[in-house]
A = this chain, B = another copy of it.
Amino acid sequence: MSRLYEGLLEALRLIISFDPDLLTIVLLSLRVSITAILLATLIGVPIGTLLGLKEEKKTGFFNKIIFTFMGMPPVVAGLIIFLILSRQGPLGVLGLLYTPSAMIIAQVFLASPIVIGLTMVGIRAKGGEIEETARSLGAGSALAAWTVVKESRYAILGAVITGFSRVVAEVGAVMIVGGNIEGHTRVMTTAIVLETRKGNFELAIGLGIILLMISFIVNSVLYTIQKGGKKN
């Protein structure tokens, strides 16, 4: 009981005093996951929009693949990227293993299907109608597609945020490809595992609180967006 309590107190002290160790880890986590989600957005939104505008029957095969990849276990993603980036792997010469870049790649690999899939579902809900309405008013292909994206902005934003919340919270992939190197590839989730194992519960709890707060904020935003999106 006391360990829980003391850990919590100390954790709050670390957070309030902007403990540099904690700050480094949190900032790296955010940098990696935000970069990953931005890349995943660049990849996922166009693909998702394209697929969403196609008839469901025609993309049936893609759908299944994407939905499978959406549920890809982080450790499997980590393993795959590890095998590719390791010096014996096809991209070994780049020397990316155990760098933040490797973690970003793994997270892009995890987040892109989520962004693609949810964008696709969101667009499919009304995208066809929107596209036809735009075309019936004289829009060419480009304007029609842009109108679809604009009208589906809530769904797309929701897809991106869901992707972010998934990657910032995962530990399997970053653990395997990042190597959990202090000050270099140690992020919140790997640090929590490490510090728990070392018995440094203060830092673990402190990071846990921050991760929960991020999760809370992200989910609140998502919730507000989805409510807003439904209303319209």
Contacts and interface: CB of A to CB of B under 8 A. Distances in A.
Interface of A: 1-4, 7, 56, 63-64, 67-68, 70-76, 78-80, 82-84, 86, 88-90, 165-166, 168-172, 175-176, 188-189, 192-193, 196-197, 201, 204-205, 208, 211-212, 215-216, 218-220, 222-223, 227
Contact of A220 (B64, B72, B76, B83): B64
Contact of A76 (B1, B83, B176, B211): B211
A170 B71 CA distance: 10
A215 B1 CA distance: 38
Given A56-B227, A73-B208, 20 more contacts: A1-B90, A4-B83, A68-B212, A68-B215, A72-B215, A73-B168, A73-B169, A73-B171, A73-B211, A73-B215, A74-B169, A74-B170, A76-B208, A76-B211, A76-B212, A79-B192, A79-B196, A82-B196, A172-B189, A176-B196
A84 B1 CA distance: 8
Given A79-B204, A193-B176, A196-B82, A219 B71 contact: yes
Q: Tell me if A's interface is mostly helix, strand, loop or mixed.
A: helix
19 contacts: A1-B88, A4-B89, A7-B83, A67-B219, A68-B215, A71-B169, A72-B212, A73-B188, A75-B192, A76-B192, A76-B215, A78-B192, A78-B193, A78-B196, A79-B204, A170-B172, A171-B171, A172-B193, A176-B196
